[in-house]
Structure 1
Amino acid sequence: LDCNVPWVIVPDQGSTRRGTAANLHPNFPNHDLDPATVKMEEAMWTAGTICHIPESNVRRAVINTLNRCVPKSCRRVPGGTIGSVNFKVTDNPRDIMDHLRSPHG
């Protein structure tokens, strides 16, 4: 998680590309896309999906590893209440690492 290349969070592309009835295109709300635009949108959706799936798999693996390796004493519930929490897939791994470094090292 510590390197020269910043961690870029690729947004989830959704189950359909933009320009369909389920995912309206902001510039073409009436579905009047020409074939070139459809092809471009399809390529962008495919590329985004190809990037998002491995990233979410890596994030899930990092979170699962942190849940196994970080002692419960370091995973306290925010606010000082009793107990510990598991890290969630929606948590940012960088934020978790920063939090673990600040009070513990």
Structure 2
Amino acid sequence: MASRLKVLRLFKTLHRTRESVFRDDTRALEAARKKINEEFKKNKNETSLETINQMMKLASDVEIVLRTSVIQGVHVADNKLLLRPRRDVLQDNVPYCDHPSKSST
């Protein structure tokens, strides 16, 4: 029963992430909704705990990639896009170093 609750929680999390990532893009929102629902429905009768855990790991990884890697772009002019990054996508800038110092461990 506990794994069922985890699956449902992950299902809800994926849908919340979808709504955040594809905000105001009805076509992308609908496509993502259909894909999420289709994948969960296709595997709803799975009984192997190992397989369920593997699928949950995959779904969790997909949610992380969507949340942290996808940036929405909106056409504002003929050859211009307005990027709408979310806080989850923005990361600290780490400067590149040609010659990293060796740590003394």
Specify the TM-score bucket, using the shorter chain as the normaliser: 0.3 to 0.5
More strand by share: 2
More helix by share: 2
What is the TM-score normalised by the length of structure 1? 0.33
What is the TM-score normalised by the length of structure 2? 0.33
